[in-house]
Amino acid sequence: MSSRKKIAVIGAGPAGLITAQVLVESGVDVIIFERRECLGGSWALQSLTEIPDVRDGLSHVYSAAFPSLKTNFPKSVMEIWGFPYPVDTPVYPSREQVCNYLESFAKKSNLIERIRFQHRLTGLKQDKPSQNQRHWKVLTEPENHEVFSGVVFCNGRYSTPSIPGSLNLADFSGKLEHSVSYRKPEYYRNKRVAVMGTGPSGEDISREISAVASRVYLCAHQGSREHLVAEEGFYGAGNNITRHRDIVKCQKNTLILEDGEKLDNIEVLILCTGYRVEDSILTSLRDTFLSGNQLSVAPLYMNLFHPAFPELSVTGMEIFGIPFILYQYQARVIARQLKEELALPSVRQRWYAARKMETMQTGRLSLEARREISAIQLRRLARMAQISPPAAEIFLTATKSSQHRKKYPNTYRDIPWE
């Protein structure tokens, strides 16, 4: 590397902290920009004075964390290499335990002084090159224009809600919410609630509010979450949850499902429909020939690098990866690229490979296919980083956790593994 590079890392969540630590260790100067007043990303709790209706806007809600949240991955695949969780941490840590862990890691790695809290990314512009190297001006609020050798976007896919656009949501007469703003079950006492989506948020929220709601309808498309047992009849703490097909239309307080069933007198509809790429990433990269959809910035070489400007990278765009493991491999690949130790293909070849990967990942895939894609990609990243590939035990642990969850859907976090 011809000179010490200065890199901007956007986001002080797990991906940003892991990336910053690896880059600093490799000799890169790093500044972290974080829009909130704290680190932790999606694990850091954001208090809300009231639960907003989706139709009134959610731009002020940054975190989906709620007080009782626990991980749905075991801690062994959520550890940063060389920095284990405290010995008394349960298999599935709480939100607070993950936040404390990340803060301890940031302090040990001397990252706190590198974080500029309450600095929101507003744009990215190419600056004048020097010494035959491109430079980028990072724009933030409060107003700040600072030039960097490269930028790593680590503010990812878990803060901006994805809202389905085909349900005629404007016609729903009840309260319309998204899981990003869910905080506690008491808000739903004695209410008839429909929950759309059976990902981790839908499963957790429906079971938690079951204790106080008068009725809970959990709705999803056929085949969704095929690795979970679909309970039949009534279940949950209040014995008041039932599973139904996906919602296709809203008519006042009635929800029409894809099989023709109607759910009447629904007072609250909670959309557990996931998240899309953070707006600031798409805005910043708009003039660099990249696009974006609900799930990813595209096309990216290795789902990581801008094909034309590899000093710009976006972490965490692997839809099916194990996040903490993925971040650590990606960070080491980025470090090698910034140190000019990684020989990338030509620009034309990178564009071709990026578009091919984008096409391969389009559409619905089975759980098995997702896991295989994740495993293959991690092995590729390991080769590029010149480190050992993930041990088979990692994928075995993830599979074992999935099986445990399938067997004990209500209490899998609290029951010891068999």
Q: For 210-236, what is each residue's pLDDT tens digit?
A: 999 999 999 998 765 544 555 678 999
Shared domain check, 192 and 96: no
- % the chain with pLDDT above 70: 93
Does residue 323 belong to any structural domain of this protein?
yes
Task: List pLDDT tens digits, range 371-385.
Answer: 788 888 999 999 999
Residue 28 has pLDDT above 70, yes or no: yes
In a domain, 257, yes or no: yes
Q: Which of 273, 303, 335 is the last residue of a domain?
A: 273
Considering the domain architecture, whether residues 259 and 282 belong to the same structural domain is answered as no
What H or E segment, with its residue span, contains residue 255? strand 254-257
Going edge to edge, which strands form the sheet with 268-271?
A: 175-178, 268-271, 192-196, 215-219, 241-244
Lowest mean pLDDT among 27-31, 161-165, 312-316, 343-347: 161-165
Asked if residue 284 and residue 253 are part of one domain, the reply reads: no
Based on the domain organization, do 180 and 156 belong to the same domain?
A: no
Specify the amino acid at residue 358. E
Give the model's confidence band at 368: pLDDT under 50 very low, under 70 low, under 90 confident, else very high.
Answer: confident
Summary mean pLDDT of the chain:
91
Residue 59 domain flag: no
Number of domain units in the chain: 2
Asked if residue 415 belongs to a domain, the reply is no
DSSP 322: -
Strands 312-314 and 297-298: unpaired
Q: Are residues 21 and 117 in the same domain?
A: yes
Report residue 398: phi and psi, to 5°. -65, -40
Is 1 within a domain? no
Q: Does residue 159 register a pLDDT over 90?
A: no
For the record, the structure tokens of 32 come out as 């972290």
* Average pLDDT estimate for 123-135: 87
Backbone angles phi, psi at 200, to 5 degrees: -55, -40
Whether 282 and 136 share a structural domain: yes
Distance in angstroms (rounded) separating the CA atoms of residues 285 and 18: 23
Q: Which residues pair with 276 in a beta bridge?
A: 160
Model pLDDT for residues 71-116, shown as the tens digit of each residue = 999 999 999 999 999 999 999 999 999 999 999 999 999 999 999 9
Question: Are residues 298 and 290 in contact, defined by beta-carbon separation less than 8 angstroms?
Answer: yes
What average pLDDT score do residues 278-305 get?
A: 78
Nearest CA among 146, 165, 243 for reference residue 203: 243
The DSSP bridge partners found for residue 144 are 140
Number of H helices, E strands in the chain: 8, 20
For residues 262 and 304, membership in a common domain is answered with: no
User: Of 13, 7, 2, which is closest to residue 323 (Cα–Cα)?
Assistant: 13
Residues 6+ away with beta carbon under 8 Å from 94: 68, 69, 70, 71
Domain assignment present for 408: no
Above 80 in pLDDT, residue 21?
yes
CATH of the domain at 167: 3.50.50.60
**What residues make up the domain containing 368?**
6-44+71-160+277-403
> Residue 207: enclosing H or E segment and its boundaries?
helix 200-209
Q: Select from 257, 273, 289 the last residue of a domain.
A: 273
In terms of residues, how long is the chain? 418
Domain stop point among 232, 250, 273: 273
Question: Are 112 and 76 in the same domain?
Answer: yes
- Same-domain check for residues 153 and 247: no
Residue 409 lies in a domain: no
The reply to whether 350 and 399 lie within a common domain is yes
What would the pLDDT profile of 47-80 be if each residue is shown by its tens digit?
999 999 999 999 999 999 999 999 999 999 999 9
Pair 17, 152 in one domain: yes
Residue 316 lies in a domain: yes
> Within this chain, do residues 92 and 15 fall inside the same structural domain, yes or no?
yes
Phi-psi region of 314 (alpha: psi -120 to 50; beta: other; left: phi over 0): beta
Does residue 287 have a pLDDT over 80? no
